[in-house]
Amino acid sequence: MMSKFKGNLSQRNHGNSSLWILFDPDRNNDSLFKVVESCQDNQIVAGFLVGSSLQTTSDYDRFVGVLRAKASLPIILFPGSGMQISAKADGLLLLTLISGRNPEYLIGQHVAYAAALRDSELDLIPTGYLLVDGGKTTTAHYITQTLPIPGDKPDIAAITALAGAQLGLKVIYLDCGSGALRPVSAAMVAAVRQAVDLPIVVGGGITSAEQILALRQAGADWVVLGNAIEQNSAILMEITQKLRDAALDFQGHPSRVG
């Protein structure tokens, strides 16, 4: 499972798979596990992310275990803190909040839980995490006490992503946060794509196949759906069907320029 995850996320040539489904243990209920069943043979969905900016339940590990029992696709932890670690997952996005200047999310959390991660069998993926303004203050912005990158400043996102690549990070994650009023713009994704030749993940505020297609055409390798599915689990089938019908080839993204 772990080798499958690495191939999916760390390599940009991945065929038609384009979605990761984000589950928040604080908000998901049994009805959303039906989504897991519908994804098993869905070639558009690559796997599941689990995490939240603010964890209010102590059942995180149990939640991952229930998901593990139902899912054959990879399960990747998307931790809001070092408390969100479970050996029942396949891997973990080792997030560095490079858009902010809060040392706790640049290195503090990493030091606190480095030994636990070393002793785990989780597949660790060093990820440059960029918070982007999606039209409202989200939990991620509040908890990290950092300012998001303005949505109309793609140059800031691009140079920040470039710095992350130069530091050796393996993935760039652009996120407007849960409940954002609008997603990351295609213009910002295109600017980051020109700056780096790393896999680009985009999340927050995404609610339609049309938005996903625009982000993919701009250069995103992976798109994350969370809130939209929590509010209406049936929307996943609608979106994946539209993506299949589009039958676009996303394997020809431009490489890094100059």
pLDDT digits (tens, 9 = 90+) for 31-51: 777 889 888 888 899 999 999
- Looking up residue 125, the CATH number of its domain turns out to be 3.20.20.390
20 forms beta bridges with 47, 224
- 122: amino acid identity, one letter: L
Q: How confident is the model at residue 200, as a pLDDT?
A: 97
Examine residue 182 and state whether it is found in any structural domain, yes or no.
yes
Q: Is residue 136 part of a domain?
A: yes
Name, in order, each residue with C-beta under 8 angstroms of 147's C-beta and a sequence gap of 6 or more: 100, 141
In terms of DSSP H, where are the helices of 108-253?
Answer: 109-119, 139-144, 154-166, 186-195, 209-218, 227-231, 235-246
> Please, which residues have CB within 8 angstroms of residue 215's CB and are 6 or more apart in sequence?
183, 184, 186, 189, 202, 206, 223
Name the nearest CA neighbour of 240 among 228, 251, 231, 252.
228
Give the whole-angstrom CA distance, residue 228 versus residue 224. Answer: 10
Whether residue 258 is contained in a domain is answered as: no
Answer yes or no: pTM beyond 0.75.
Answer: yes
Does the residue 257 lie in any domain? no
What tens digit of pLDDT does each residue of 83-127 get?
A: 899 999 999 999 999 999 999 999 999 999 999 999 999 999 999
Q: Structurally, how many domains does the chain consist of?
A: 1
The answer as to whether 43 is a domain residue is yes
Residue 214 lies in a domain: yes
pLDDT digits (tens, 9 = 90+) for 140-189: 999 999 999 999 999 999 999 999 999 999 999 999 998 899 999 999 99
The model's pLDDT over 202-258, given as tens digits with 9 standing for 90+, comes to 999 999 999 999 999 999 999 999 989 988 888 999 999 999 888 544 444 443 332
Full domain range(s) for residue 186: 2-246
